[in-house]
Amino acid sequence: MNSIWVKIAGAAVVIVLVIVVLGRFSGEKPESGPPQKEKTFYDTADRDKQFREAPKPAEPQQPAAETQTPVETPAEQPSEPVQQPQPTAQTPGVVLPSSITKATTLYFIPLEETDQIEADKLLPWAVANRSIGRLPMMQYGIMVKACRDIMQRWPDSWHAFRAKQMLEEVSERHAQYNVTPQELDISRYLKTRRGAEPFTVEPVQK
């Protein structure tokens, strides 16, 4: 009699072990890589610092060396034309800052010393309020106002270009600020103008 109960108890233990093992294997998920760390306020604020950075002056192109006698060379394949940001389909003639997906040459007019000092103060103020706007119960109103002030006072400067970049990202999720495509248009920077200098602009790092 006792041997029967021993067998039943042993069978029960085996069944429990099988259930535990199967549950462990079925519950495991293949690891696709290290878990992604959730971005904190400080991470996003650090990312926003790129909007404070001045673009680097473009390197001047070296003139082709002249030769005394022409030398026949094999026919070369035509090089690919430099791709320039194109106007958006929704608003013809408007080029958005997000259309810059690789290093691009844009033309900005340097500011006078007094304007440079003021713009260098106002742009970091806009960037700081961009970061603060992400906090709970906060808004981007101060940043939007500062960006519009920059664009109105120094429309041909690189500061205005950075303001347009910030406004574009905010306008995608916050329609209450009524940012128009014309405010975001950077087509004026794609061609040289009197007093403008070439700068190399990198795409925004996400």
CA distance 51 to 174: 19
pLDDT digit string, tens, across residues 126-173: 999 999 988 888 899 999 999 999 999 999 999 999 999 999 988 878
pTM exceeding the 0.75 threshold for the entire prediction: no
| 125's tokens | 């103020």
pLDDT digit string, tens, across residues 38-82: 567 666 777 888 898 999 998 876 555 544 545 455 555 544 444
- If DSSP states are collapsed to H, E and C, what string results for 22-50? HHHHHHCCCCCCCCCCCCCHHHHHHHHHH
